[in-house]
Amino acid sequence: MVCGGFACSKNCLCALNLLYTLVSLLLIGIAAWGIGFGLISSLRVVGVVIAVGIFLFLIALVGLIGAVKHHQVLLFFYMIILLLVFIVQFSVSCACLALNEEQQGQLLEVGWNNTASARNDIQRNLNCCGFRSFNPNDTCLASCAKSSHPCSLCAPIIGKYAGEVLRFVGGIGLFFSFTEILGVWLTYRYRNQKDPRANPSAFL
């Protein structure tokens, strides 16, 4: 059977959704690992990662069932959802890659001011206090705050890694966005193919 045939389309779609399933389980596992080892205490961050993992798992499940059963309705909804996810993910990925240092700093400062638990995790793990300035009356969980040595500010330390992290996230996002548009194309083609095992006069 050539790759443009029914069986090849079905197998490719199943393989793609198995990949999405593995990625979703990996995201959920990383969030659980971060909580278990005390690396992340922010329930908001963990909740977002777990929610993304569950959402991706459900999409993959719908696509997998639709591919195995050649179910027209499931495949249609899977195609539409995947297209919407592609648009959002492609836009966010491009934004991550396009941010300059000034914009990165502004984005980090907004996140710093709005997430107290994540701020405490950063200060503890990077051993720094404050973003661009530090008030001695503020609480800091870094080990340097308990000693007589002055603590470094967190903005320069985070800034060293922010660009690399954003480029990494943007690159990974672009990669998966292209797999999503591939999934949309495979689903569209697969929906319009006849199952050779079915009645030749029936269009499934």
Q: What percent of the chain has pLDDT over 70?
A: 88
> What does the pLDDT look like over 5-51, one tens digit per residue?
778 888 899 999 999 999 999 988 887 887 765 556 566 767 888 88
Number of C-alpha atoms within 13 angstroms, CB side, residue 131? Answer: 14
The answer as to whether 197 is a domain residue is no
The structural domain count of the chain equals 1
| Residue 124 covered by a domain | yes
Residue 95 falls within a domain, yes or no?
Answer: yes
pTM: 0.73
Per-residue model confidence (pLDDT) at position 157: 81
Quick one: which of 17, 44, 199, 20 has its CA closest to 120? 44
Q: What share of the chain has pLDDT > 90, as a percent?
A: 25
Residue 60 maps to a domain? yes
Please indicate, yes or no, if residue 56 is contained in any of the structural domains. Answer: yes
Show Cβ contacts of residue 81 under 8 Å, excluding neighbours closer than 6 positions: 59, 62
Domain that holds residue 143: 2-192
Is 182 inside any structural domain? yes
SS3 category, 94: helix
Residues 46-93 pLDDT 10s:
788 888 889 999 999 999 999 998 888 999 999 999 999 999 989 988
Q: Which of 11, 30, 192 is nearest to 204 (CA)?
A: 192
Task: State how far the Cα of 198 lies from the Cα of 204, in Å rounded to an integer.
Answer: 8
Q: Is 10 inside any structural domain? A: yes
Residue at 32 is within a domain = yes
What phi and psi, each to the nearest 5 degrees, are found at residue 118?
A: -65, -35
